[in-house]
A and B are shown apart, each in its own frame.
Chain A
Amino acid sequence: MPEPGLSHLKILELCNLVSGPYCTKLLADLGAEVIKIEPPGIGDETRRRGPFLEDIPHPERSGLYLYLNTNKLGITLDVGTSTGRSILRELIEQTDIFVEDNPPAMMEELGLTYEDLKQVNPRLVMTSITPFGQTGPYRNYKAYELNSFHGGGEGYLLPMQSPDLDREPVKGGGLVGDCICGLSASMATLAAAYSMVATGVGQHVDVSKQDVLMTMVGLDIAMFANNGIKRNRLRWPVLMPTPMKCQDGYIMLSVLNDREWRDLVEFMGNPSWAQDDRFNTWLERHLYSDEINPRVREWLQQYKKEEIFHQLQAKAIAAASVNTAEEVVKSPQLEYRGFFAEIDHPEAGKLKYPTAPYKFSRTPWRAERAAPLLGQHNEFVYCERLGYNRQDLVKMRESGVI
Chain B
Amino acid sequence: MSGFALEGVRIADFCWLWAGSYATCLLAYLGAEVIKIESMARTDPSRMMTLTLGAQAFEGVENSPVFNSINLNKLSVRLNLKQPKAVELAKSIIRISDVVTQNMRPGSLDRLGLGYDVLKEIKPDIIMLSSSSYGAEGPLRTYGGYAPGFACYSGLANLTGYSDSPPNPMTGSTDLMSAATAAFSVVAALCHRQHTGQGQHIDLSSVESLAVFTGDALMDYTMNGRVQSRKGNQDRIRAPHNCYRCHGDDKWVSIAVSTEGEWQAFCEAIGNPEWAGDERFCDAYSRWKNQEELDRLVGEWTINYTHYEVTECLQKAGVAAMPSLSNEEILSDAHFKERNLAVEIEHPVMGKQLVVGPPWRLSETPARVTKSSPLIGEHNEYVFGELLGMSSEEIARLMDEEIIY
For B222, give its contact among A202, A313, A353 (CB under 8 Å).
A353
Q: Is the CB of A66 within 8 A of B219?
A: yes
Q: Does B374 contact A (CB under 8 A)?
A: no
Given A203-B364, A203-B365, A323-B152, also A183-B180 (CB < 8 A): yes
> Which of the candidate stretches B73-81, B83-91, B141-149, B271-279 sits at the interface with the other chain?
B141-149
Indicate if the CB atoms of B325 and A5 lie closer than 8 Å: no
> Beyond A153-B327, A328-B211, is A187–B320 a contact (Cβ under 8 Å)?
no
Instruction: Please judge, given known A-B contacts A174-B159, A174-B216, whether A230 and B252 are in contact too, CB under 8 Å.
Output: no
Nearest B residue to A177 via CB reads: B213
Known: A172-B156, A319-B149, A320-B148. A232 touches B170 (CB 8 A): no
Asked if B200 and A194 sit within 8 Å, CB to CB, the answer is no
Complex contacts, B238 vs chain A, CB 8 Å:
144
Interface residues of A in 169-201 (CB under 8 A from B): 169-176, 179-180, 183-188, 190-195, 197-199, 201
Could you tell me the distance between the alpha carbons of A135 and B216 in the complex, rounded to whole angstroms? 32
B103 within 8 Å of A by Cβ?
A: no
- Picked from A137, A184, A252, A328, the residue with its CB within 8 Å of the CB of B338 is A137
Q: How far is the CB of B2 from chain A (nearest CB, A)?
A: 10
State the 9 A-B residue pairs at the shortest beta-carbon distance, nearest first.
A173-B159, A218-B356, A63-B219, A286-B55, A320-B149, A357-B208, A174-B214, A336-B138, A173-B160
Q: Which interface residue of A133, A147, A327 has the most chain B CB atoms within 10 A?
A: A147
Task: Decide yes or no: A192 and B362 within 8 Å by CB, A287-B55, A318-B144, A320-B148 being known contacts.
Answer: yes
Complex interface: chain A residues within 8 A of B320 (CB): 141-144, 146-147
Given contacts A197-B191, A219-B69, contact A187 B180 (CB under 8 A): yes
Number of chain B residues whose Cβ lies closer than 8 Å to a Cβ of chain A: 159
Q: Shortest Cβ distance from A311 into chain B, in angstroms?
A: 12
B1 close to chain A: CB less than 8 A: no
Selected from B201, B243, B250, the residue in CB contact (under 8 A) with A361 is B201
State the majority secondary structure of interface residues on A. Answer: mixed
**Min C-beta distance of A130 to chain B, whole Å:** 11
Closest to B229 in A: A324
- The reply to whether B226 and A322 contact each other, CB–CB distance below 8 Å, is no
Q: List 27 A-B contacts (CB under 8 A).
A: A6-B191, A63-B222, A67-B215, A114-B363, A136-B338, A138-B315, A146-B233, A168-B232, A170-B232, A173-B230, A179-B213, A194-B5, A195-B5, A195-B365, A197-B194, A197-B195, A202-B364, A224-B331, A226-B353, A242-B167, A250-B167, A252-B149, A325-B228, A332-B138, A333-B139, A334-B207, A337-B208
Q: A221-B331, A362-B198 are in contact. Are A184 and B155 (CB under 8 A)?
A: no
> In the bound complex, what is the Cα–Cα distance between A343 and B193 (angstroms)?
28
Residues 146-188 of B at the A interface (beta carbon under 8 Å):
146, 148-150, 152-162, 165-173, 176-177, 180-185, 187-188
In Å, the complex CA distance between A52 and B226 comes to: 11
Whether A252 and B162, one on each chain, are in contact in the complex, defined by CB atoms closer than 8 angstroms, is no
B 124-143 to A, binary, CB cutoff 8 A, 1 in contact else 0: 00000000011101111111
Are A153 and B315 touching (Cβ within 8 A)?
no
**CB < 8 Å: which of A168, A185, A207, A222 contacts B342?**
A222
CA distance A286 to B149 in the complex (A): 18
A262 lies within 8 A of chain B by Cβ: no
Point out which of A150, A203, A283 has the most chain B C-beta atoms below 10 A from its C-beta: A150
B129 → A minimal CB distance (Å): 8
Q: Does B349 contact A (CB under 8 A)?
A: no
Please, what's the 1-or-0 string for A46-82, where 1 marks a CB less than 8 Å from any CB in chain B?
0001111111000000011011100000000000000
Q: Any chain B CB within 8 A of the CB of A84?
A: no
Interface membership of A245, Cβ < 8 A: yes
B327 and A283 contact, CB distance less than 8 A: no
Interface positions of A from 221 to 268, Cβ below 8 Å from B:
221-227, 229-232, 236-238, 241-243, 245, 250, 252, 254, 256-257
Q: Which residues of A contact B233 (CB under 8 A)?
A: 146, 168, 170-171
B356 contacts A339, C-beta separation under 8 Å: no
- What would 7 more interface pairs be, CB under 8 Å, given A179-B212, A324-B155? A143-B320, A170-B162, A199-B3, A222-B353, A242-B169, A337-B138, A362-B192
Given the known inter-chain contacts A252-B148, A322-B157, please indicate yes or no for A187 contacting B200, CB distance below 8 A.
no
Given A147-B254, A159-B165, A225-B331: A142 and B145 within 8 A (CB)? no
Asked whether, in the complex, the Cβ of B168 is within 8 Å of the Cβ of A160, the reply is yes
| Min CB gap A220→B, angstroms | 5
From the candidates B51, B66, B70, B323, name the one contacting A238 in the complex (CB within 8 A): B51
Residue A352 interfacial (CB < 8 Å): yes
Min distance, Cβ A32 to any Cβ of chain B, angstroms: 9
Residues of A within 8 A of B322 (CB): 141, 143, 147-148, 150-151
A158 contacts which of B170, B227, B358 (Cβ < 8 Å)?
Answer: B170
CB of A206 within 8 Å of the partner chain:
yes
A280 within 8 A of B: no
Say yes or no: is A99 at the interface (Cβ < 8 Å to chain B).
no
On chain A, the residues within 8 Å of B318 by CB distance are 142
0/1 interface trace, chain B 271-290, chain A, CB 8 Å (1 if under): 00000000000000000000
